[in-house]
Amino acid sequence: MRVTPRCLAVMACLLAPTVVVHGQVVSERPREEAARVLGHPIMVADLDARWDALDPAGRSDVAAQVHEGRMRALEALVDEILLDTAAREADLSVEALLAREVPALVEAPDAAAARALFDQMAPRAPTVSFTEVESLLMAYLGEQARSAARARYLQRLRAAAAGRMAVWLEPPRWSLPADVDSPRTGPPDARIEVVVFADFECPYCRQLATVLRVLTQRRPGEVRLVWRDFPLPGHAQARALAQAARCAGEQGAFWPFHDHLFTAAIGLPTATAPTTADTGAALAGGGDPLIRAAADVGLDVALFTACSTQGRHHEAIDRDVALGMALGVTATPTLFINGRKVVGLRTLDAYEALVLEELRLQESRLGAAP
């Protein structure tokens, strides 16, 4: 029998290694047991749980890096399988197959493209003329065009094999407890839940609000948004704004008020920005920008002011902050898309790509592709 690397890998998985102390076999070690101390097993899951408690941000960052590395490896292996299969079916080598198929897909660059690239680079090399580097720029753009053509060909192979492909590699996910008090919008049975930890004083969160509004319009009925307050310590107005938005939520207007805060960039005067203890006092005057915002949204201003004066939502905001810290949130915005942590502002296309990936993963779980 020929023993291949794959056979060795399978045997390694099936045979649980033994624990040896002073040259004597003590016991067989279960695959998920990391150590045993005085008869007490320490499982890998125990290590991860303690790691989560000690350094949630570091743990989540490492988990994300591992998944990204695995995904890059998966993409490379998928490409190899698709190319090998297509080459075998065409009775060609992979190199010959690519030489036959890719050139027709190349979009050759022209002098105008080279000139545009030169103009982008010119400030960094003001003494270099276009004629001196035109041939180098054309060569570079040509290589980029060939790479893009190869990618387009592989995309065609993927599309042709779509019915025979399934991916079960799951990204790291965080389990977020349900909270009926958290503002949310979108169908309760939506396949994608986006939990947003954000700060009303954060400029990137303001941009995110617009991006997510368009995303929900592009994917109607598929996305539910859940808001979690995470006012950053360096933003003096953030907690007061969070409190005001939740008071608007008491009148069923959290999201209109949320949009108004971000769209109009409403804020409290820096010199009189309220703290956790005196939010209500800051709202006493009719000229307060939050009072005007409440009126603009159509709220009952008296109820809104009473809510803010009593500080009814400070505990809820504190719970959100504590949850965020437990999940390793250190910056805003931080999103959890079906439990997948996404830190920082990204483009609309990037968020939509994640949504589509989640939908594909859900479809793959329904059944295996042959």
Task: Say whether both 344 and 238 belong to one domain.
Answer: yes
Boundary residue ending a domain (38, 54, 70) = 54
**3-state SS of the chain: helix, strand, coil percent to 5?**
55, 10, 30
Residue 228, in any domain of the structure: yes
Task: Say whether both 189 and 314 belong to one domain.
Answer: yes
Residue 247, in any domain of the structure: yes
When pLDDT is cut at 50, 70 and 90, the band that residue 128 belongs to is confident
Task: Say whether both 221 and 268 belong to one domain.
Answer: yes
**What one-character-per-residue DSSP string does 231-277 give?**
--TT-TTHHHHHHHHHHHHHTT-HHHHHHHHHHHT----GGG---ST
Whether the CB-CB separation of 338 and 195 falls below 8 Å is answered with no
Total number of domains in the chain: 3
Residue 370, in any domain of the structure: no
Task: Say whether both 34 and 130 belong to one domain.
Answer: no
Once rounded to an integer, what is the mean pLDDT over residues 287-304?
89
Boundary residue ending a domain (168, 201, 227) = 168
Residue 69, in any domain of the structure: yes
Once rounded to an integer, what is the mean pLDDT over residues 333-353?
94
Residue 369, in any domain of the structure: no
Task: Say whether both 197 and 156 belong to one domain.
Answer: no
Please write the tens of the pLDDT for every residue from 28-62.
555 689 999 999 999 999 998 899 888 888 888 88
Task: Say whether both 229 and 354 belong to one domain.
Answer: yes
Once rounded to an integer, what is the mean pLDDT over residues 150-175?
88
Task: Say whether both 260 and 296 belong to one domain.
Answer: yes
**What one-character-per-residue DSSP string does 115-168 give?**
HHHHHHHGGG-TT--HHHHHHHHHHHHHHHHHHHHHHHHHHHHHHHTGGG----
Residue 78, in any domain of the structure: yes
When pLDDT is cut at 50, 70 and 90, the band that residue 4 belongs to is very low
Task: Reply yes or no on whether the pLDDT at 269 is more than 80.
Answer: no
Task: Say whether both 41 and 77 belong to one domain.
Answer: no
pLDDT at 2: 46
Structure tokens at 68: 């990204």
Count of Cβ atoms closer than 10 Å to residue 20 Cβ: 11
**What is the percent of the chain with per-residue pLDDT over 70, rounded to a whole number?**
84
Nearest residue to 94 via CA among 83, 79, 103: 83
Q: How high does pLDDT run on average in the chain? A: 84
Q: Looking at 10-19, 114-123, 192-201, 334-343, which range is the least confident one?
A: 10-19
Cα dihedral 113/118/123/126 (nearest 10): -150
Residue 367, in any domain of the structure: no
Which amino acid is present at 99?
A: A
- CA distance to 33, 42, 50, 277, per residue, from 37 (Å): 11, 8, 16, 49
Task: Say whether both 28 and 64 belong to one domain.
Answer: no
When pLDDT is cut at 50, 70 and 90, the band that residue 213 belongs to is very high
Range of the domain at 138: 59-168
Whether the CB-CB separation of 221 and 278 falls below 8 Å is answered with no
Task: Reply yes or no on whether the pLDDT at 83 is more than 90.
Answer: yes
Whether the CB-CB separation of 228 and 182 falls below 8 Å is answered with yes
pLDDT at 111: 87
Task: Say whether both 195 and 328 belong to one domain.
Answer: yes
* Residue whose pair of structure tokens reads 């804020």 in the numeric block: 267
Task: Say whether both 335 and 218 belong to one domain.
Answer: yes
Task: Say whether both 295 and 188 belong to one domain.
Answer: yes
Residue 242, in any domain of the structure: yes
Boundary residue ending a domain (36, 54, 72) = 54
pLDDT at 7: 45
